[in-house]
């Protein structure tokens, strides 16, 4: 167990230690301990200002993609999953099969066909090329579906109907609260997936001003390769550290919602 913890934490420790070094010290000093000048804050300042502050722009892009992409994905998954769990209609089995199939296809495999389709639509190299594919989360939909089937008792819905509440009102006042842990889970998955999305923006975007952090940092990293190389590994490392901070914060803030369902054991089953 402790071995596993060391294995997981070592890269983070390394990342932090090395983001306190200058490019020169990074190359010439021992990697797993502090040495040379402590320039963490200089590195942060330089990361935020290098190349006219493009890092801040990338951070903003990533946030935009996460809010619209992951937010939209969560909303659509919630609506779809709830509907599939609580209402009966013809063709439900077929939808079930399609969604299970979709869960099995990795996003990377779809990236190239998606690219060709989007270029026909004239949407490549725009923010929509990142946001629209991020809206689709078959796994999230499936998760909400399964979760809603268990955590939103049909009896409560029936009681609400008897009391004369409309389906929409029932959904927004009762079901959505019961679904909250599931929604948070789906949101977390979607946020992490969008935040870390690499391959899709890599092929969709060619304009550095539209890059999310993942592609931007890789571009900085590649700057140290080949003819005319100008390595800025210290900024790549500091940038990487800054990049994981919001995700860690999101986890810490959201995990308290991430508990067993409110109504677990609420009715006789």
Partner 1 sequence: MKTRNIGRVAAGATALLLGVSLVACSADSGDNGGGEASADSIEAALEKGGEITYWTWTPSAEAQVAAFEEAYPNVTVKLVDTAAAADHNLKLQNAITAGSGAPDVAQLEYQSLPQFVLPGALVDLTEYGFAEHESLYTASTWGAVTTDDGIWGLPQDSGPMALFYNTEVFEGLGIEVPTTWDEYIAAGEAIHAADPTKYITNDPGGDAGFGTSMIWQAGGRPFQTEGETVTVNLQDEGSKKWADTWNTLLQNDLLGAIPGWSDEWFQALSDGTIASLPIGAWMPGVLESSAPDGAGKWRVAPMPTYDGGEPTTAENGGSSQVVLEQSKNKALAAGFLQWLNASQDSIDVFLASGGFPATVADLESDEFLNYESEYFGGQKINEVLVDAANSVSTGWEYLPWQAYANSIYSDTVGQSYLNKGDINEGLAEWQAQNIKYGSEQGFTVSE
Q: Which parts of this chain interact with partner 1 (CB under 8 A)? A: 24, 26-28, 108, 111-112, 115-116, 119-120, 122, 124-125, 198-199, 202-203, 206-208, 218-231, 233, 236
Which letter does DSSP use for residue 143 in this model?
A: H
Which among 155, 144, 176, 168 is positioned nearest to 262, based on CA atoms? 176
How far apart, in Å, do the first and last CA atoms of the chain sit? 39
- Burial class of 215 by CB neighbour count within 10 A (0 to 12, 13 to 18, 19+): buried
Measured from the CB atom, the residue of 127 and 143 that comes closer to partner 1 is 127
219 or 263, CB closer to partner 1? 219
Decide whether 6 or 117 has the Cβ nearer to partner 1: 117
In the bound complex, what is the minimum distance in angstroms from residue 118's beta carbon to partner 1?
A: 8
Residue 52 CB, nearest approach to partner 1 (Å): 11
52-78 in b/e form (b: 16+ CB < 10 A) is eebbebbbebbeebbebbbbbbbbbbb
With respect to partner 1, which residue has the nearer C-beta, 24 or 98? 24
**Whole-number Cα distances in Å, 136 to 74, 124, 140:** 9, 17, 9
C-alpha angle with apex 147: 141 to 153, nearest 5 degrees?
130
Closest distance of CB 233 from partner 1, Å: 5
Least distance from partner 1 to the Cβ atom of residue 237, Å: 9
Minimum CB distance to partner 1, residue 116 (Å): 7
**CB nearer to partner 1: pick between 119 and 259:** 119
């Amino acid at each position: 167990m402790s071995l596993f913890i060391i294995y997981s934490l070592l890269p983070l420790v390394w990342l932090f230690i090395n983001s306190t070094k200058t490019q020169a010290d990074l190359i010439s000093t021992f990697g797993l301990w502090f040495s040379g000048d402590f320039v963490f804050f200089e590195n942060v300042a330089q990361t935020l200002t290098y190349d006219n502050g493009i890092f801040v722009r990338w951070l903003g892009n990533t946030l935009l993609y996460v809010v619209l992409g992951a937010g939209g994905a969560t909303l659509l998954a919630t609506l779809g999953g709830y509907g599939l769990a609580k209402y009966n209609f013809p063709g439900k089995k077929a939808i079930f099969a399609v969604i299970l199939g979709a869960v099995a296809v990795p996003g990377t495999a779809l990236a190239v066909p998606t690219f060709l389709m989007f270029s026909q639509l004239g949407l490549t190299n725009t923010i929509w090329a990142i946001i629209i594919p991020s809206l689709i989360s078959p796994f999230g939909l499936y998760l909400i579906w399964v979760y809603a089937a268990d955590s939103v008792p049909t009896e409560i819905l029936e009681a609400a109907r008897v009391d004369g509440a409309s389906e929409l009102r029932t959904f927004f006042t009762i079901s959505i609260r019961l679904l909250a842990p599931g929604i948070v889970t789906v949101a977390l998955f979607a946020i992490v997936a969008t935040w870390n999305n690499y391959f899709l923006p890599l092929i969709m975007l060619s304009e550095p001003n539209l890059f999310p952090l993942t592609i931007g940092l890789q571009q900085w990293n590649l700057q140290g390769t080949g003819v005319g190389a100008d390595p800025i590994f210290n900024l790549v490392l500091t940038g990487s550290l800054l990049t994981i901070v919001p995700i860690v914060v999101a986890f810490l803030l959201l995990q308290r919602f991430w508990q067993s369902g409110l109504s677990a054991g609420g009715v006789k089953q």
